[in-house]
Amino acid sequence: MARFLHVADIHLGFDRYGSSERTMDFYYALVDVFERYAIAAQADFVLIAGDLFEHKTVPAGVLNQAKLALQLLQEAGIPVIAIEGNHDNLPYGTRTSWLRHLAQWDGVILLEPEDGADELAEIYAPWDPDSKRGGYIDLDCGVRVLGSRWYGAAAPQALKRLAEAIALLPPGPAHQVMMVHHGLEGQIARYSGALRYQDLSPLRAAGVDYLALGHIHKNYEEQGWIFNPGSLEANSVAEARSQMDRGAYLVEIDDQGIRATLQQDYCQRPVVRLAVEAKKAWSIDELREAAIAQVQIAAGAEETQGAIVELRLRGQVGFNRLDLKVRELREELTALSEALIFCSSTMSRVRNMAARSRRGSSDRARTSKPSCSKISSPPTAPTAKQPWSP
């Protein structure tokens, strides 16, 4: 039996909120998952199915986070096998990447098939520990791991060619695992470019037993052989644990089949979503008081302290919404909640009945982006666990 950890969409260096403390959360989540579900679980290997980094250009501090996390597995003797994602793939016109740097440092085994090869038999070369290059690797635990690249819109044609190349490989271990950083259709709304199941089925026919996906931040499984763990940390309030399942897979594979368990018990910053439904007869003061009361209830239950908090003010009101001093209200609610980050979508949700007929959808679209406030704090050293650690 082989046991492995499957993670994806780690997004080290996430900086969307402009909070250095929030950026550190993604590092804490990764370290906790490695310690719990790779080292303590005695995994034979770890898969990173794309998007280790948030950006193709990686700051020194973020690169240091990756090395510190990977060093834990190096010291435990657990190999880490990775592929590129759309966030950290090889930049156009360049010959190297930060993932390639980690491979040269022996932090990861970066699998890169030679897609431009003229012959199918040349696409997948075995991993060479000297050159630190290759498209697949055979492990002593009885698993062959195959890589892929980020293909964008060309993915269906590229995966079909990879399947043909896999079929030509020499015999190897009993089980084949493959990593692909693309999403399957039907999992999330408004996602163009998703793969159809029939785009992946040639890989199954070529002998892939476990397809380790990344890219979509929501957990899903398909047909007992396709597995997507989702992101480790929430990249937006919509990815709160209360909204969608996501995490890391701890997998066992043997002659009896596949047993993949989604693990969600690890260090994550809480995300709290609140809403107030405005009444037509409310004044500005009544709407403001309702918003304060909603946050007070959550703060009194100790749900908001140090969390990411979103407040939606929805409905129709009789006053001009521009008269609502949104920034002042948001600052007051941020202080009241003691949230690390406080987001409000007041401007987009509360509609002025009197002016509604004079404004078109384009005006509403311009005000639809939530505004966020953050509590300023110095960067946290990447050592201690956060207080919300399980």
SS (H, E, C) the chain: CEEEEEECCCCECCCCCCCHHHHHHHHHHHHHHHHHHHHCCCCCEEEEECCCECCCCCCHHHHHHHHHHHHHHHHHCCCEEEECCCCCCCCCCCCCCHHHHHHHCCCCEECCCCCCCCCHHHCCCECECCCCECCEEEECCCEEEECCCCCHHHHHHHHHHHHHHHHCCCCCCCEEEEEEECCECCCCCCCCCCECHHHHHHHHHCCCCEEEEECCCCCEEECCCEEECCCCCCCCHHHCCCCCCCCEEEEEEECCEEEEEEECCCCCCCEEEEEEEECCCCCHHHHHHHHHHHHHHHHHCCCCCCCEEEEEEEEEECCCHHHCCHHHHHHHHHHHHCCCEEEECHHHHEEEHHHHCCCCHHHHHHCCCCEEEECCCCCCCCCCCCCCCC
Pick the more confident residue, 25 or 316.
Answer: 25
**pLDDT value, residue 317:** 83
- The mean pLDDT of 114-139, rounded to a whole number, is 96
Whether 364 has a pLDDT exceeding 50, the answer reads no
Whole-number pLDDT of residue 351: 59
Number of CB atoms found within 10 A of residue 19's CB:
20
List, in order of start, the domains of the chain with CATH numbers.
2-263 (3.60.21.10), 271-374 (no CATH)
Q: Amino acid identity, residue 371?
A: S
pLDDT band at 95 (very low <50, low <70, confident <90, very high): confident
What's the CA angle centered on 308, arms 342 and 89, to 5 degrees?
A: 110
Tell me which of 166-175, 278-287, 342-351, 379-388 is least confident: 379-388
pTM of the model: 0.89
Would you say 260 and 221 are in contact if contact means Cβ atoms under 8 Å apart? yes
Which pLDDT value is given to residue 135? 98
The DSSP bridge pattern shows strands 226-228 and 210-214 to be parallel
Residue 358 pLDDT: 44
Note the pLDDT of residue 371.
Answer: 65
Tens digits of per-residue pLDDT, 155-196? 999 999 999 999 999 999 999 999 999 999 989 877 777 999
Beta bridge partners of 59: none
The answer to whether residue 390 scores a pLDDT higher than 50 is no
Angle at 340 between CA 337 and CA 344, to 5 degrees: 65
Quickly state the pLDDT bin for 375 (edges 50, 70, 90).
low
Question: How many Å apart are CA 84 and CA 169, to the nearest integer?
Answer: 22
pLDDT of 255 > 50? The answer is: yes
For residues 104-114, give the mean pLDDT. 97
Over 70: is that where the pLDDT of 359 sits? no
Average pLDDT over residues 49-77: 97
Only one residue has tokens 């993604």, namely: 26
Instruction: Say yes or no to pLDDT of 67 above 70.
Output: yes
Question: Distance between CA 242 and CA 339 in Å, rounded?
Answer: 18
- Per the structure block, which two tokens stand in for 97? 């990447």
Q: Is the per-residue pLDDT at 376 higher than 70?
A: no
**pLDDT given at position 350:** 55
By DSSP bridging, strand 341-344 and strand 308-317 are parallel
Q: How far is CA 269 from CA 10, 21, 306, in A?
A: 14, 10, 8
Instruction: Please provide the average confidence, as pLDDT, over all residues in the chain.
Output: 89
Q: How far apart, in Å, are the Cα atoms of 167 and each of 178, 330, 351? A: 13, 58, 59
Residue 299 neighbours by CB under 8 Å, 6+ apart: 305, 336, 337, 338
Confidence at residue 119, expressed as pLDDT on a 0 to 100 scale: 94
Cα(158)–Cα(171) distance, integer angstroms: 23
Residue 387: is its pLDDT beyond 60?
no
pLDDT digits (tens, 9 = 90+) for 193-244: 799 999 999 999 999 999 999 999 999 999 999 999 999 999 999 999 888 9
> Token digits for 320?
């001009």
What is the structure's pLDDT at 365? 35
Tens digits of residue pLDDT in 256-305: 999 999 999 999 999 999 999 999 899 999 999 999 999 999 999 999 99
pLDDT at residue 11 is higher than 60:
yes
- Tokens found for residue 194: 């998703």
